[in-house]
Amino acid sequence: MAQPLTETEVVQIRGLGDRLDLAEVRDVYLPLSRLLSLYATATKRLGAETSSFLQEGDDTTTPFVLGVAGSVAVGKSTIARLLRELMSRWSDTPRVELVTTDGFLYPNAELERRGLMDRKGFPESYDRRALVDFLIQVKSGAAEARAPFYSHVRYDIVPDAHVTVRRPDVLIVEGLNVLQPPPAPNDVAVSDLFDFSVYVDADAAHIERWYVDRFLALRHGAFSNPNSFFKVFADISDAEAEKRALGFWNDINLPNLEENVLPTRHRATLVLRKGREHAVEYVQLRKL
């Protein structure tokens, strides 16, 4: 497949602060999407052959589930969206859907009740059981499975709103803690329900800069929305905004990265290592 995306499409996919370009799409993400499509096809074929061996009769193959993990501000959301677009353009995997684990955060009222608002994004701030149950439905071949919807403007779960997944070829699940081990020996880990996983990696110092830059950019965009949870930051000075961003990074996001996110890197099937300019410098793939 030749270059599948236009410059306009790349800009639309690219997250705030990311520096994704057509050359990187061609050299890194297009080959990766093909590899993932091949994995998905092979997994489906194995599932069909197993079903035939067991004489189950009907098609019991289920979606190929891809996990995408990494720090806040490392660019994993952009990569998840990009892989959705690229994988859907291969004939083997035309139906690709994306769910983020933000929808499985506890609502703010529950976080307040548990004293966890300052630990939003840490493993304990998620309804892990609900996420596991959702993925079990997907991997069981349910006709549809519903995930809660999270609004980044409201900074909260939207009641009675859902993302509905209807048995796609591929489901991408993107989030901070998707590679966490199970909390107890007999529990199911979220990653137990993945067929393949990607960890997006970078030096913490680089991610800090990207986080601060994104925060400053949001001040002039999303934060200025009168409905935004963060509207209180829209009118502060650049110096004060940078100070606040560094505070959030050092008090919340860096500890979460060091304590919970980074230690799961070794559990990934593939690691994308980014350099200072947000571009992928190398790829590590676990051999079969």
pLDDT (tens digit per residue) in 210-239: 999 988 888 777 666 777 777 778 788 889
Structure tokens at 113: 């009740």
Kind of pairing, strands 170-174 and 64-70?
parallel
Position 127 pLDDT exceeds 80: yes
Residues 6+ apart with CB under 8 A from 174: 67, 68, 69, 76, 77, 80, 98, 99, 100, 101
Position 44 pLDDT exceeds 80: yes
State the distance between the two ends of the chain, measured CA to CA, in whole angstroms: 25
Rounded average pLDDT over 148-172 = 93
Residues 6+ apart with CB under 8 A from 41: 92, 93
Whether residue 1 lies inside any domain: the answer is no
Position 280 pLDDT exceeds 70: yes
Rounded average pLDDT over 81-104 = 95
Rounded average pLDDT over 135-158 = 93
pLDDT value for 223 = 65
pLDDT-based confidence at residue 264 (cuts at 50, 70, 90): very high
105 close to 117: Cβ distance less than 8 angstroms: no
Position 67 pLDDT exceeds 90: yes
pLDDT cut 90: percent of the chain above it: 72
- Give the CATH number of the domain where residue 89 resides: 3.40.50.300
pLDDT value for 59 = 66
Whether residue 179 lies inside any domain: the answer is yes
Distance CA 139, CA 145 (A): 10
Mean pLDDT, the chain, rounded, equals: 92
Q: Which domain holds residue 128?
A: 7-285
Position 31 pLDDT exceeds 80: yes
63 close to 145: Cβ distance less than 8 angstroms: no
Q: Which of 6, 1, 28 is nearest to 93 (CA)?
A: 1
Report the sign of the C-alpha dihedral through residues 219, 236, 153, 251, in that order: positive
Phi, psi of 92 (to 5 degrees): -75, -25
- pTM score: 0.94
Indicate the range of 71-75, 165-169, 238-242, 258-262 predicted with least confidence.
Answer: 238-242
Position 208 pLDDT exceeds 90: yes
Whether residue 2 lies inside any domain: the answer is no
pLDDT-based confidence at residue 71 (cuts at 50, 70, 90): very high
Whether residue 42 lies inside any domain: the answer is yes
Whether residue 193 lies inside any domain: the answer is yes
Kind of pairing, strands 270-274 and 196-201?
parallel
Q: CB atoms < 10 A from the CB of 255, how many?
A: 13
Token pair 């096809």 is at which residue? 41
pLDDT-based confidence at residue 15 (cuts at 50, 70, 90): confident
Q: How many domains does the chain have?
A: 1
- What proportions of the chain, in percent to the nearest 5, are helix, strand and coil? 45, 20, 35
Phi, psi of 241 (to 5 degrees): -65, -40
Whether residue 228 lies inside any domain: the answer is yes
pLDDT value for 12 = 87
Rounded average pLDDT over 252-274 = 97
Whether residue 165 lies inside any domain: the answer is yes
